[in-house]
Structure 1
């Protein structure tokens, strides 16, 4: 009796196990064929009306785009907007400094430069990936880029680059003649800076010269020409900032770069990286202080600079150059740093009106007396 029951129980378990395995394979097949990817609308579990959740992250938006467009959006790095922010923020600093006392920055200029930053960052990434396609295949982090992986051919990338530059030219033509000439002058930097990692251990300096051109262009777009006493130290401060964040970024790939023969400040500085970054940070803060003096900035601006100094100190002190994930986190935190500078410029400019009103009241009271 017990033997018969045991045999029946064993057969039951065998049937149950076979059924579970079959359902698991069906579920795995369903996931492979029809399961939504990250960023797609997904129905909620349970009874009742079907609900959908939407992720608004940049990567999710790119993943939700039509499949033929996704490689081109990734080529522009629209799924990683931090680079666009780092290109755009020096433009906003310059536009904010050029505003009249007591006024907000020109919103039209901010939107125009924002559009230009997306297009030019995309064009720069396209040029970079075209130059580096053979190197990207050898680096784990970059092997999946659209050109390196074969998702986009060189011919199509040329056409796409032409489209981006044409649209960027349309944005540039909305500015005054001085700014059009100044903006066109940066094209040589955009084309050549991806090559610098083959030539020098200072490609981050070339990137700084390129990425901070907006510090000159923003002021000229508002004022009609550059004021060297403001624009040049602002440009220099941006270059120092780029040397900080892009050196941190370069530490992610230093092993692969060394193996394939590419150069960077990460390989140049090695274990002395924090000392170099500290020097760049001091130079950046000194240049921004000079900008404040020459543009008549007020207390909120210098308060923001103090916050920037604290941010830089924490960023550099806690940096672990041997952990790529920490390098990425520190790199992306520079968007916050740039926004702090912008906030300081805006509030400092608005504070000018308050000081002017107080001075007028004091003069008027003296006249009455």
Structure 2
């Protein structure tokens, strides 16, 4: 099921997988993007926001369960790694022919022949089992909420063949954690949950558009659709709208959850970071796009810090 490890993919640089992982595991770790943890961070961060806001609602009701919240953060972290890896594996299975024609992705394990298709499916199943183990630790309402996302997760890799802004479907999938903290901690989905989710969807479309500009020319050659191609030279104007909508919806979510000075401060710093991204990004410079995209982890953690402090102080 596995062929020789071969070189690292073209879209990676030296990292712990290349330096320390056993050679027989490296292709599978690359398949799961373990060499690029940013995806796991971006999947986890909406979960962190939702746990913090749900904890704030609990605190306002006079019964904050800090221990449960801490356990959920740990479970969501494990689940984010497992499910991001499973999602990347599924994406690479479906895109193995396209990846072989794109400069940045042609050295990925499947198109490079480092992992067989059968091996990829086995690895996908193992990651799915890890995600299932985390899911079974959650209450029934949260399990049902998580399962409702599976359809979006499964179809996302196909959307680049169908619609011009497949990032919108990615946003629906990657933002699901904005619901999960509420579902797991308070076993309900109040208005603040849906406002947080909607804002996160816009955030994902924005940052993944920046990321997609690295592949704009290759996507055009291959015939793959993306928001980078669709927005083209108007990308910065679209980012103003997407990121502006993100901040407005997050403000409404925070207000619905009780507000608080630390939460508002976190949102202000988050908004300032998004404004910096819009000013800084150069859509014609792939390295610049990658750096700006990666900075979204810091933006998300800044907002989480404000929400978490507010929840603890309430």
TM-score normalised to the size of structure 1?
0.78
Q: Secondary structure at the match of 2:101?
A: coil
Matches within 5 A, 1:39-118: 59-99=15-55, 100-101=58-59, 106-118=69-81
Kindly indicate whether residue 205 of structure 2 is the aligned counterpart of residue 247 of structure 1. Answer: no
Report the CA distance between 1:332 and its aligned residue. 0.1
Deviations 1:35-91 (A, max 9, x none): xx99xxxxxxxxxxxxxxxxxx99224531111011001111010000000000000
C-alpha contact 1:301 1:348 (8 A) present in aligned 2:
yes
Name which of 288, 294, 308 aligns with 1:326: 288
Name which of 232, 237, 241 aligns with 1:279: 241
Report the CA distance between 1:182 and its aligned residue. 1.3
C-alpha contact 1:58 1:81 (8 A) present in aligned 2:
no
Q: Structure 2 unaligned runs (5+)?
A: 1-6
C-alpha contact 1:58 1:80 (8 A) present in aligned 2:
no
C-alpha contact 1:62 1:74 (8 A) present in aligned 2:
no
Kindly indicate whether residue 229 of structure 2 is the aligned counterpart of residue 267 of structure 1. Answer: yes
TM-score normalised to the size of structure 2?
0.91
* Greater Rg by CA: 1
Q: Size of the alignment, in residue pairs? A: 297
Report the CA distance between 1:198 and its aligned residue. 0.4
User: In 1, Cα distance between the equivalents of 2:107 and 2:59?
Assistant: 48
Over 4 Å off, 4+ runs? 102-105
User: In 1, Cα distance between the equivalents of 2:18 and 2:176?
Assistant: 28
Q: Which has the higher contact order (CA 8 A, sep 6+)?
A: 2
User: In 2, Cα distance between the equivalents of 1:280 and 1:306?
Assistant: 16
Q: 1:222 matched to which residue of 2?
A: 185
C-alpha contact 2:210 2:289 (8 A) present in aligned 1:
yes
Q: 2:4 matched to which residue of 1?
A: none
RMSD (Å), alpha carbons: 1.7
User: In 2, Cα distance between the equivalents of 1:198 and 1:269?
Assistant: 17
Q: 1:52 matched to which residue of 2?
A: none
Report the CA distance between 1:309 and its aligned residue. 1.4
C-alpha contact 1:175 1:221 (8 A) present in aligned 2:
yes
Q: Structure 1 unaligned runs (5+)?
A: 1-36, 39-56, 353-369
User: In 1, Cα distance between the equivalents of 2:93 and 2:231?
Assistant: 28
Q: Secondary structure at the match of 1:343?
A: helix
Q: 1:171 matched to which residue of 2?
A: 134
Name which of 183, 198, 213 aligns with 2:176: 213
Deviations 1:94-116 (A, max 9, x none): 01111133965711100001000
C-alpha contact 1:58 1:78 (8 A) present in aligned 2:
no
